[in-house]
């Protein structure tokens, strides 16, 4: 019953639909395998965040503290994953925090699946009435320019899996240690 009431509608369907919709709208995936990898990365990232939220909920003394803590953890995941700023530009302590969060692995997997194997990407700009288009760039070249290795997708997927397993084990440990949620 847990699978029908929780796992399927809350853990599986939303990230799969969101990732599939993003791919359909952008038509970014060059192959079916890259599209499936993109959807799998979105699903894994969603599940890792859900598992992290369960850990925070199990350790929190109240629902409001759990919500605030989960919001802050999600914000730090977004800020430190590389989406807004290059992690190399951050102080070393913040880089270590960013590597300890699942969003960096999820962002890496999503970006690699989106750009790897794309034969031609163009930068287009409008200047006055003119549309200026750059020379074609290969997706792998763009990835390397931003510090991503196109062959690292499997490693990013493995890290996401390990994050989810670690958070689930930590949640089970908290329930075993305390016997119930702390609130």
Domain that holds residue 31: 2-178
Q: Is residue 155 part of a domain?
A: yes
Domain tally for the chain?
1
> Does residue 78 surpass a pLDDT of 60?
yes
Q: Which carries the bigger pLDDT value, residue 66 or residue 83?
A: 66
How far, in Å, CA of 84 to CA of 41, rounded?
19
**157: pLDDT confidence band, cut at 50, 70 and 90?**
very high
Q: Given this model, what pLDDT does residue 158 score?
A: 94
pLDDT, mean of residues 110-118: 83
User: Is residue 22 in a domain?
Assistant: yes
pLDDT of residue 180: 58
Residue 164 has pLDDT above 70, yes or no: yes
Q: Do 123 and 133 contact (CB within 8 A), yes or no?
A: yes
Residue 119 in contact with residue 30, Cβ under 8 Å?
yes
Q: Is-contact 69 56, C-beta < 8 A?
A: yes
The answer as to whether 82 is a domain residue is: yes
39 falls within a domain: yes
In a domain? residue 183 = no
Residues 102-112 have pLDDT tens digits of 888 888 888 88
Q: Is there a domain that residue 116 lies in?
A: yes
pLDDT digits (tens, 9 = 90+) for 45-70: 888 888 888 888 888 888 888 888 88
pLDDT in the model for residue 166 = 92
pLDDT given at position 155: 93
């Amino acid at each position: 019953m847990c699978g029908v009431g929780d796992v399927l509608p809350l853990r599986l369907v939303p990230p799969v639909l969101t990732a599939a919709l993003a791919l359909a709208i952008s038509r970014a995936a060059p192959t079916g395998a890259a599209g499936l990898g993109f959807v799998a990365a979105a699903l894994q990232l969603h599940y890792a965040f859900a598992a992290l939220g369960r850990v925070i909920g199990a350790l929190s003394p109240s629902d409001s503290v759990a919500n605030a803590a989960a919001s802050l953890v999600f914000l730090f995941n977004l800020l430190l994953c590389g989406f807004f700023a290059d992690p190399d530009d951050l102080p070393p302590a913040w880089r270590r925090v960013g590597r300890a969060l699942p969003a960096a692995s999820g962002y890496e997997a999503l970006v690699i699946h989106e750009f790897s194997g794309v034969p031609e990407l163009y930068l287009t700009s409008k200047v006055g009435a003119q549309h200026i288009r750059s020379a074609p760039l290969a997706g792998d070249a763009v990835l390397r320019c931003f510090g991503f290795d196109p062959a690292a997708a499997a490693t990013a997927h493995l890290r996401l899996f390990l994050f989810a397993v670690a958070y689930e084990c930590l949640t089970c440990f908290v329930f075993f240690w305390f016997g119930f949620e702390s609130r």
